[in-house]
Amino acid sequence: MSKELVFGHKNPDTDAISCAIEYAYLANKLGDEVEAVALGKTNNETNFVLNRFNVKAPRVITKAKPEVDSVVLVDHNEAIQSVDDLADVTVTSVIDHHKINFTSAQPLFYRAEPIGCCSTIIYKMYLENNVEIPSNIAGLMLSSIISDTLLLKSPTTTDDERKAVPALAKIAGIDDYEAYGIEMLKAGSDVNDRSATDILEGDAKSFEMGGETVRIGQVNAVDLNDVFKRQSELETTMTDLMASKSYDLFLLLATNVLTSDSELLALGKGTDVIEKAFNTKFDNHRMSLPGVVSRKKQVVPPLTKAFD
């Protein structure tokens, strides 16, 4: 079998980066030749994790075809979120936990589970194949689950995550995973030194809804005032990004990692649809969303329904 590349989505978060590394290690142990790569630079939270467990960040690519003929997708399946030349390569496997918007001209391995974190799926694949999990890989898996589920507080959290976290913490040598998780989340939540573009685009995904291109970014913070004291700057940058990237609507979900509440900032075509989706009115382009922390489960589904 020829070499394959495995990667998560563009604007990678901790799970996207970690899943690629975890999958590549597993695949190589099982006899395949797979290299983990990334579709963007690692963020502050991911850098904290990689440094903590002494793991090198994958190299960044924009195209796959110059190197390989086939690829593996982890933590995403939509072409709009994937490598630029996805149509020029064969996708042989997809491991994901998001809604499915994927087509293929030929059979492939596709594993999707409605759970909180893609790393949870790969953790189970290690167990199913009787492959021992190294401590640094366990650390990546643990960190990804904590990140994606906000320390198991997100409504996306399942019993699979609740069982995996203590088991992975033990392998990774983390005595108190809650203390580690808070430290990790705080490391990724300091927005003071980040540019407006990085805040908006650092963890952003595009979706097609009702014929519109909707860009949804998410930023974590320990104090939402740190985000919204820069509202004017953020709105100017949002407007510029919509013009340059042809987004019809731009949303930024600012989430307090300590209280598990969010506030939404939105500009563009269709803000009335957002009000319909959440049965809440905007005030100065902002909307309070108590208890909302998951873009995947609490934002995208009601928006998709409202646009349709």
pLDDT value at 204 more than 90 = yes
What's the pTM value of the predicted model, to 2 decimals?
0.86
- Amino acid identity of 129? N
Residues 189-205, mean pLDDT to the nearest whole number? 91
**Cβ atoms within 10 A of the Cβ of 41, count?**
14
- pLDDT at residue 308, rounded to an integer: 87
Q: Which residues contact 218 (CB under 8 A, 6 or more apart)?
A: 203, 204, 252, 253, 254, 255, 295
Residues 169-175: what's their mean pLDDT?
98
Residue 190: which pLDDT band, with cuts at 50, 70 and 90?
confident
| DSSP code at position 205 | E
Q: What is the pLDDT of residues 20-78, one digit of tens each?
A: 999 999 999 999 999 999 999 999 999 999 999 999 999 999 999 999 999 999 999 99
Quote the pLDDT of residue 123. Answer: 98
Which amino acid is present at 22?
Answer: E
At 5-14, the pLDDT tens digits run 999 999 999 9
> What's the residue count for the chain?
308
pLDDT exceeds 80 at position 238: yes
What is the rounded CA–CA span in Å between residue 6 and residue 83?
11
The whole-angstrom separation of Cα 121 and Cα 139 is 15
Domains of the chain by start residue, with CATH: 4-189 (3.90.1640.10), 196-307 (3.10.310.20)
Q: What is the pLDDT of residues 92-150, one digit of tens each?
A: 999 999 999 999 988 999 999 999 999 999 999 999 999 999 999 999 999 999 999 99
pLDDT at 189: 87
CA distance 285 to 266: 6
The H or E element containing residue 286 is strand 286-289
Question: Sorting pLDDT into bands at 50, 70 and 90, what band is 188?
Answer: confident
DSSP assignment of 47-101 equals: HHHHHHTT-PPPPB-S-STTT-SEEEEES---GGGS-TTGGGSEEEEEEE-S---
Q: What is the pLDDT of residue 168?
A: 98
CA 132 to chain centre: 26
Residue 1: predicted pLDDT? 61
Report whether 135 contacts 148 (CB < 8 A).
Answer: no
- What is the pLDDT averaged over residues 247-272? 95
